[in-house]
A and B are shown apart, each in its own frame.
Chain A
């Protein structure tokens, strides 16, 4: 923690401060009330650069474009998934969130060197390196505590890779034993 610099994101407002000023990245300098000579105006409805409600359709489109530019910055900042295993893997087991320890233990107890583990603690937007991990595998198994396998669908949508799912949605977490069994069934397919 000591090597993390304390970054300051709040800036003193100039007298003509506008909370939603247009910028190249879509990110506007952040002011707070009471810090500087400007005022900070924020609205939940579509607004102009100053925060005032607008029904101008051209301005609306420019504000949507601004937010999409900001989304691209968020994507470039996304945390990459954590890869565990050897290069040249055949089957990639993908998980996210609380399934990490059960999947890790299941892979260890199966003991095959062609199995690798890719874990996401940040699920959207996907980090840019996601596709290359998936494309190296012949077989992608996505483990999810979910009825329809939404994360697997997202991976296919964003990377074009086909996946198979191991889903559990009876209210209980995965056990290591059932993951060993389910992974082995899908590895034989």
Chain B
């Protein structure tokens, strides 16, 4: 394998369990970034808390690793303050759909040009196995000792229903296809969700490599992702779950492109200086 620009030149100490699906997702992400030829200094990874949210620590580029569930608001701000950056928000199902659920909903409305990669292992792995918003009904955990009874969220159908302009499901069992889907997500203009099936080998004994294999399939080559009605029907299918690009919409305008601050000046905010005369003009115009 040739050297990847986004990998470290030295060994790094990673906190994931041997056999974790995160290693495969990291491989996909490293390869996707390198393939796209994006400038390393102009990529920002943003995450919250969790094992998946540690990803930015293990990629050699800019990152902001902040609070649990709060990847999307920080990522939106990064993109809005410098639209020339490639921004990726990444985390797990608990972080993005649980603690970050409200931010996820509003990010779908704002539609910043961000790729959103969610490692969906259907459990809170960092904290040793509590039920997450995508845990299947019936799964017994140390907290849900009588089994989970809440209906699990289907993030893909939720995202299609909210007209997220790019919605895909991928699998950590297939790093190469996941890489290709990630590349499409990064290139798509607007919010691009990739929900990535991933086993948690330590704390989820139900949704194993075999379970994901038995319960998913790739969409046919002639599947049309641009029709919202059929995409929504496809997104709602479960057992088996479809993998691939389920919905794409090229019409929605990204958040940062609608901001008045860039209407007459394309420069990112850090390049600008305070202009007292302009402030005085504004104050006088409101007097």
* A and B are interacting partners: yes
Chain A interface residues (CB < 8 Å from chain B): 1-2, 4, 6, 8, 10, 32-45, 51-53
Contact of A42 among B49, B64, B268, B273 (CB under 8 A): B64
In the bound assembly, the distance between CA atoms of A44 and B63 in angstroms comes to 11
Contacts of A6 in B (CB 8 A): 273-274
| The 4 A-B residue pairs with the shortest CB-CB distance in the complex, in nearest-first order | A33-B62, A43-B65, A6-B274, A39-B62
Chain B residues positioned under 8 Å from A10 (CB to CB): 270
4 other contacts beyond A41-B62, A43-B63, with CB at 8 A cut-off? A6-B273, A32-B82, A41-B56, A43-B57
Chain B residues with Cβ below 8 Å from A43 are: 57, 63, 65
Measured between beta carbons, the chain A residues less than 8 angstroms from B82 are: 32-34
Q: Please tell me which stretch of B37-45, B99-107, B136-144, B256-264 contacts chain A, meaning at least 4 of its Cβ atoms lie within 8 angstroms of it.
A: B37-45
CB distance from B84 to the nearest CB of A (A): 6
Residue pair B273, A8 in contact (C-beta under 8 Å): yes
Asked if A32 and B279 sit within 8 Å, CB to CB, the answer is no
Contacting pair B78 A33 (CB below 8 A):
yes
Q: How far is the CA of A177 from the CA of B65 in the complex (A)?
A: 52
Q: How far is the CB of B82 from chain A (nearest CB, A)?
A: 5
Is B152 in the interface zone, CB < 8 Å from A?
no
In the complex, chain B residues whose CB is within 8 Å of the CB of A38:
41
Most buried by B among A1, A32, A37: A32
**B67 close to A (CB within 8 Å):** yes
Interface pair A34/B42, CB less than 8 Å apart: yes
Instruction: Point out the residues of chain B lying under 8 angstroms from A32, CB to CB.
Output: 82, 270
Asked if B61 and A39 sit within 8 Å, CB to CB, the answer is yes
- On whether the beta carbons of A45 and B85 are closer than 8 Å, the reply is no
Kindly list chain A residues whose C-beta atoms are within 8 Å of the C-beta of B40. 39
Most chain B beta-carbon contacts within 10 A, residue among A33, A36, A42, A44? A33
Interface status of B60 (Cβ within 8 A of chain A): yes
- By the criterion of a CB under 8 Å from any partner CB, how many residues of chain B are at the interface? 29
Nearest B-chain residue to A2, judged by Cβ: B276
CA distance A99 to B280 in the complex (A): 29
What per-residue 1/0 map shows which CB atoms of B24-64 lie under 8 Å from chain A?
A: 00000000000000001111100001000010110011111
Which B residue sits closest to A8, measured CB to CB?
A: B273
Question: Cβ of B66 < 8 Å from any Cβ of A?
Answer: yes
Give the CA-CA distance A17 to B268 in the complex, in Å: 21
CA distance A43 to B57 in the complex (A): 9
The answer to whether A34 and B84 touch (CB under 8 A), given A2-B276, A10-B270, A39-B40, is: yes
- Can you list 24 pairs linking A and B with CB atoms under 8 Å apart? A1-B276, A1-B279, A2-B276, A6-B273, A8-B273, A10-B270, A32-B82, A32-B270, A33-B41, A33-B42, A33-B62, A33-B78, A33-B85, A34-B42, A34-B268, A35-B270, A36-B41, A39-B60, A39-B61, A39-B62, A40-B62, A43-B63, A43-B65, A53-B54
The residue of chain B having its C-beta at the shortest distance from the C-beta of A44 within the complex is: B66
Query: With a CB–CB cut-off of 8 A, which chain B residues contact A4?
Result: 276
Assembly CA distance A39 to B57 (angstroms)? 12
Q: Provide the bound-state CA to CA distance between A6 and B273, in Å.
A: 7
Bound complex: CA A43 to CA B64 (Å): 6
Q: Is B67 a contact of A34 with CB atoms below 8 Å?
A: no
Tell me if A53 and B276 are in contact (CB < 8 A): no
**A34 in contact with B41 given A43-B65, A45-B65 (CB within 8 Å):** yes
Across-interface contacts of A8 in B (CB, < 8 A): 273
A33–B45 Cα distance when bound, in Å, is: 10
CB distance from B109 to the nearest CB of A (A): 25
Chain B residues whose C-beta falls within 8 Å of the C-beta of A41 in the assembled complex: 56, 62-63
